[in-house]
Chains A and B, each alone.
Chain A
């Protein structure tokens, strides 16, 4: 047979089946859509970051540090300036902003910039071109949100510490800034020359320093990095170049992306099942045609080729539709996420992502379609003379090697998909293993039910019940096929639901009611007690007053400097992992107290209770993650540099800290005696209730202690909540879509052997069964099938969701039992209604007509 003739025959033969086949194949669309959308969006974002890298960074090179640059570095920068290198600085810190006219106060992020900032990229203002004016006086440019919060307008005078600035405009676009950030601290730009006048940068105040460099053509970025990297690292200054501007997503987005990935995978698998069970039903309808073709001289290979061609064509259409869907979603994503993204994402078609998505979709559709399709090779031409039941006609003789190979290909494809999409190989293999376990459990459950049905039936049970249960184990039964497809579908859908439920719970958990709603920080040592009494005098409670002492690590178990970074821990055989650099470099803002806080949980050792004396080293308690990165445990010693004084300590406990609560939390908690006399600051957490009470208190505090910053937590919770709502909506939408598309898949899974049931129903009818009896027989069978599939699927999904939450999203998991039950009941309902529909069809035609057709 020539190829064109084969194609023509495949095309013609598909005439009435095209619609059905396309429906089955469209199961694959959602999976492809999710893949295409995620991948396209990721490359769009990366491309935009790359294109806008220079303006995101603001210069060719950026030097950043959490503290003032050491003298030698400043000197070196000065000499660069003399050599013609452009230099400009920005110092960023938090402070209260106060508008005198209205009395409004708000914590703001102050950015003191020197002339020339930034070298690349444009800061847009309203009214326009105010950025150029900023350096020409005591001027400020602020976020529009600040004006709203302070009830102020352009032209008002803004107090920052002891200095005053005139607001000359608002910021409309600052390259590289994430919109969400302004929720916590609206930005205020001031000229750096007036920074000292504010007197805000006192001891222990946090400030970030960034210096942007614009290199002359004679000096390339890589030459510069090579020459400077070592020197800067020693001074704990980070060097970034435009080329390596990375974009860090916030946690919420990370979760959304992971969730979309999981949805994509699940939707693909769900699609695969939809294809497999749909094609299974399709194959049964094609037995007669195949038998005729075989009679007319078609070989097994030709027959398979005809139907494979049809499947591929329809799979391609389904996947292409998915591709379109993906492009649509891709357009939507930047809108949902714009507040989190540091760049304007240019939405462009990503042919690579589109092509990959479509190809993956076609492949999945094909391997899943192949398994039912290859059964057509077994159809004997003898079926034209003497038609056996569908199951008999499709059964091959002995072990089917091709079938085994196809099964292996399915497992391998699932594993490959898992590995390709997961963050790491282990996660991917775990994903594949979970799928195999789920299928195995379902198969065993189905086999067990089939076996139980054989034994459990008692002769005294009513006929319809016996008949219904007998359907579960008699030859050619659909127990395994339906339980497997239905159960697996329910497993995937319910997993998505469980994960969605838990993700939303963690998002909402962040907005957990705290014990207090105002946070005062940068409180100097001598301001602690007066501020405390000021708050109490107004009738509010102080929930917490925590001292803060800045410090760094100088030694771990006696190892210093080079030794320290190598991090060789003797008692961990083979454990020569390097210590994470950030823990050694960072400044710790630690506290001291001898009692544990409600937001903490000791995981190892015992929390110190004070009372130790001199020869014993003072106790510290570490956050578990920090201890892990430092590679220390209970019993190890750490020496800290506290304002030039070395303080040796011993780790006596590790703690898990609930960071999601808006409360002062600490990586390191010292025993009181170790730090009592060290220079410190305070953080004060107060509970201030009542209409406008927070604003009033903030105003009073700013006027008496201009350097003290305060944060209205309820305001932040509201803003963050609003933004998270967007993410939640995106998660809900995707989950809803995949659930909606899952239902037709399950429908086709359950109705795969409907024809066979119809035939039997007609026979019963001919033998005198009433409509009611046939209905009940169907009800009994489908109720059992539906219940087993749904229940096992739901139980499996709790395990699956737990694993996803734990290993992918790294969040706690609590099973959502009620929704799980609803999903299970819904699925049982679906399978029962398919059974009843079949029963109804039995009575739609006369027995003669139905028998002739059968």
Chain B
């Protein structure tokens, strides 16, 4: 599904070059749930940006579903994202001028899909916000906003979901509900999930954990199974 080959990202900083990522390689199979962890400054966010095609590496390649991202133009990458990728961010990143429903519709409409409103409404009720579709982001709580963001991330039925500290701005209970939601989606829709976090407890929920430090992969192993809890069925 997703493959990183010898990814290196350098920034010019004054006279010398600063390597944020060095020679990072790994493969994420279809339907996997992978966590990328590391302390602040380890290069997690940079790696996420490269994997999602939001940025281009200094060297190395990212293959998304067999396609080399660095060979695509910015606009082609945008279309690819629109077709196969979903995002969940720490700060939700909802468009403030659009209602919950309209936010969820955006990826569908960008592709020119018919029936966007119906599908968006369905997704929102599946994340438990069926009665809040016409609310604007600033009228929703943090947890609700993140659920809208998840509904939006799944609106285009992505093969691959990137989540950047999805619980970072939420209290622990709400965060837990969000993680359960992601797990359910991963299971039910066989969506591949790449989760970036510095929260080791959260990372343990993934099937596999890749640890980064100073731009290098220091370990890549299946996670210790977390204490099992009943996964809430996708809120009904």
Q: Is B112 an interface residue (CB 8 A)?
A: yes
Residue in A1, A9, A300, A386 whose CB lies within 8 Å of B111: A1
Q: How far is the CA of A17 from the CA of B89 in the complex (A)?
A: 24
Chain B residues with CB below 8 A from A292, complex form: 93-95
Of the candidate stretches B102-110, B176-184, B187-195, the one touching chain A is: B102-110
Query: Cβ of B74 and Cβ of A13 under 8 Å apart?
Result: no
User: Chain B: which residue is nearest A288 at the CB level?
Assistant: B93
Q: How far is the CA of A12 from the CA of B156 in the complex (A)?
A: 20
Residue in A1, A289, A299 whose CB lies within 8 Å of B75: A299
Residue in A16, A296, A300, A301 whose CB lies within 8 Å of B152: A296
Q: Is B83 an interface residue (CB 8 A)?
A: yes
Query: Closest Cβ of chain B: how far from A393's Cβ, in Å?
Result: 13
Q: How far is the CA of A417 from the CA of B98 in the complex (A)?
A: 39
Q: Is B87 an interface residue (CB 8 A)?
A: yes
Query: Cβ of A380 and Cβ of B78 under 8 Å apart?
Result: no
Query: Cβ of B79 and Cβ of A297 under 8 Å apart?
Result: yes
Query: Closest Cβ of chain A: how far from B88's Cβ, in Å?
Result: 11
Query: Cβ of A300 and Cβ of B74 under 8 Å apart?
Result: yes
Q: Is B82 an interface residue (CB 8 A)?
A: yes
Query: Cβ of A382 and Cβ of B97 under 8 Å apart?
Result: no
Residue in B78, B102, B164 whose CB lies within 8 Å of A297: B78
Query: Cβ of B54 and Cβ of A380 under 8 Å apart?
Result: yes
Query: Closest Cβ of chain B: how far from A296's Cβ, in Å?
Result: 5
Query: Cβ of A9 and Cβ of B96 under 8 Å apart?
Result: no
Query: Cβ of B106 and Cβ of A9 under 8 Å apart?
Result: yes
Q: Is A714 an interface residue (CB 8 A)?
A: no
Query: Cβ of A296 and Cβ of B54 under 8 Å apart?
Result: no
User: Chain A: which residue is nearest B89 at the CB level?
Assistant: A384
Q: How far is the CA of A827 from the CA of B11 in the complex (A)?
A: 43
Chain B residues with CB below 8 A from A382, complex form: 49, 54-55
Query: Closest Cβ of chain B: how far from A400's Cβ, in Å?
Result: 14
Q: Is A437 an interface residue (CB 8 A)?
A: no
Query: Closest Cβ of chain A: how far from B73's Cβ, in Å?
Result: 9
Query: Cβ of A289 and Cβ of B96 under 8 Å apart?
Result: yes
Chain A residues with CB below 8 A from B80, complex form: 297
Query: Cβ of A16 and Cβ of B109 under 8 Å apart?
Result: no
Within 8 A of A (CB), among B24-63: 45, 48-49, 52, 54-55
B204-225 vs A: 1/0 string, CB under 8 Å?
Answer: 0000000000000000000000
Q: A5-B116, A384-B54, A385-B48 in contact; A298/B96 too (CB < 8 A)? A: no
Q: How far is the CA of A13 from the CA of B102 in the complex (A)?
A: 9
Query: Closest Cβ of chain A: how far from B186's Cβ, in Å?
Result: 20
Q: A1-B110, A384-B54 in contact; A298/B82 too (CB < 8 A)? A: yes
Q: A380-B54, A385-B48, A386-B45 in contact; A298/B95 too (CB < 8 A)? A: no
Chain B residues with CB below 8 A from A384, complex form: 54, 87, 89, 93
A623-665 vs B: 1/0 string, CB under 8 Å?
Answer: 0000000000000000000000000000000000000000000
Query: Cβ of A13 and Cβ of B97 under 8 Å apart?
Result: yes
Within 8 A of A (CB), among B125-160: 152, 156
Chain B residues with CB below 8 A from A1, complex form: 109-112
Chain A residues with CB below 8 A from B106, complex form: 9, 293, 296, 298
Query: Cβ of A298 and Cβ of B110 under 8 Å apart?
Result: yes
Q: Is B81 an interface residue (CB 8 A)?
A: yes
Chain A residues with CB below 8 A from B78, complex form: 294, 297-300, 381
User: Chain B: which residue is nearest A295 at the CB level?
Assistant: B87
Q: How far is the CA of A301 from the CA of B79 in the complex (A)?
A: 12
Q: Is A302 an interface residue (CB 8 A)?
A: yes
Interface size class of chain A, counting residues whose CB lies under 8 Å from the partner chain: 20 to 34
Query: Cβ of A302 and Cβ of B110 under 8 Å apart?
Result: yes
Q: How far is the CA of A12 from the CA of B97 in the complex (A)?
A: 7
- The total of chain B residues at the interface (CB under 8 A) is 35
Q: A12-B97, A299-B75, A302-B110 in contact; A381/B54 too (CB < 8 A)? A: yes
Query: Cβ of A297 and Cβ of B89 under 8 Å apart?
Result: no
Q: A289-B95, A386-B45 in contact; A297/B54 too (CB < 8 A)? A: no
Q: How far is the CA of A17 from the CA of B97 in the complex (A)?
A: 8
User: Chain A: which residue is nearest B74 at the CB level?
Assistant: A300
Chain A residues with CB below 8 A from B116, complex form: 5
Q: Is A71 an interface residue (CB 8 A)?
A: no
Query: Closest Cβ of chain A: how far from B51's Cβ, in Å?
Result: 11
Query: Cβ of A5 and Cβ of B107 under 8 Å apart?
Result: no
Query: Cβ of B111 and Cβ of A297 under 8 Å apart?
Result: yes
Query: Closest Cβ of chain A: how far from B187's Cβ, in Å?
Result: 24
Query: Closest Cβ of chain B: how far from A298's Cβ, in Å?
Result: 5
Q: Most B CB atoms within 10 A — which of A15, A294, A300, A385? A: A385
Query: Cβ of A13 and Cβ of B82 under 8 Å apart?
Result: no
Query: Closest Cβ of chain A: how far from B150's Cβ, in Å?
Result: 13
Q: Is A2 an interface residue (CB 8 A)?
A: yes
Query: Cβ of B109 and Cβ of A385 under 8 Å apart?
Result: no
Q: A289-B97, A292-B95, A384-B54 in contact; A297/B110 too (CB < 8 A)? A: yes
A379-401 vs B: 1/0 string, CB under 8 Å?
Answer: 01110111000000000000000
Query: Closest Cβ of chain A: how far from B155's Cβ, in Å?
Result: 9
Query: Cβ of B97 and Cβ of A14 under 8 Å apart?
Result: yes
Query: Cβ of A13 and Cβ of B98 under 8 Å apart?
Result: yes
Q: Is A8 an interface residue (CB 8 A)?
A: yes
Query: Closest Cβ of chain B: how far from A4's Cβ, in Å?
Result: 9
Query: Closest Cβ of chain B: how far from A337's Cβ, in Å?
Result: 48
Q: A15-B97, A381-B54, A385-B164 in contact; A299/B79 too (CB < 8 A)? A: yes
Q: Most A CB atoms within 10 A — which of B80, B83, B106, B107? A: B106
Q: A300-B75, A301-B75 in contact; A295/B81 too (CB < 8 A)? A: yes
Chain A residues with CB below 8 A from B112, complex form: 1-2, 5
Residue in B74, B87, B109 whose CB lies within 8 Å of A9: B109
Query: Closest Cβ of chain B: how far from A755's Cβ, in Å?
Result: 15
Q: How far is the CA of A292 from the CA of B82 in the complex (A)?
A: 12
Query: Cβ of A385 and Cβ of B98 under 8 Å apart?
Result: no
User: Chain A: which residue is nearest B94 at the CB level?
Assistant: A292
Within 8 A of B (CB), among A599-623: none
Q: How far is the CA of A537 from the CA of B140 in the complex (A)?
A: 100
Within 8 A of B (CB), among A1-56: 1-2, 5, 8-9, 12-17
Q: How far is the CA of A384 from the CA of B78 in the complex (A)?
A: 14
User: Chain A: which residue is nearest B196 at the CB level?
Assistant: A385
User: Chain B: which residue is nearest A5 at the CB level?
Assistant: B109
Q: How far is the CA of A302 from the CA of B95 in the complex (A)?
A: 16
Query: Cβ of B82 and Cβ of A297 under 8 Å apart?
Result: yes
User: Chain A: which residue is nearest B136 at the CB level?
Assistant: A15
Q: How far is the CA of A14 from the CA of B85 in the complex (A)?
A: 26
Given contacts A12-B98, A297-B79, 11 further A-B contacts (CB under 8 A): A1-B111, A5-B112, A9-B109, A13-B97, A15-B98, A289-B96, A292-B95, A295-B87, A297-B107, A298-B110, A300-B78
Q: 10 closest pairs, A vs B, by CB? A: A297-B82, A5-B109, A299-B75, A15-B97, A381-B54, A382-B54, A297-B81, A296-B107, A1-B112, A292-B93
- Which B residues lie at the A interface, using CB under 8 A? 45, 48-49, 52, 54-55, 74-75, 78-83, 85, 87, 89, 93-99, 102, 106-107, 109-112, 116, 152, 156, 164
List 29 A–B pairs whose Cβ atoms lie within 8 Å, in order of A's numbering.
A1-B111, A2-B112, A5-B109, A9-B109, A13-B98, A14-B97, A15-B97, A17-B97, A289-B95, A289-B96, A295-B52, A295-B93, A296-B87, A296-B106, A297-B79, A297-B82, A297-B111, A297-B156, A298-B106, A299-B78, A301-B75, A381-B54, A382-B54, A384-B93, A385-B48, A385-B49, A385-B54, A385-B164, A386-B49
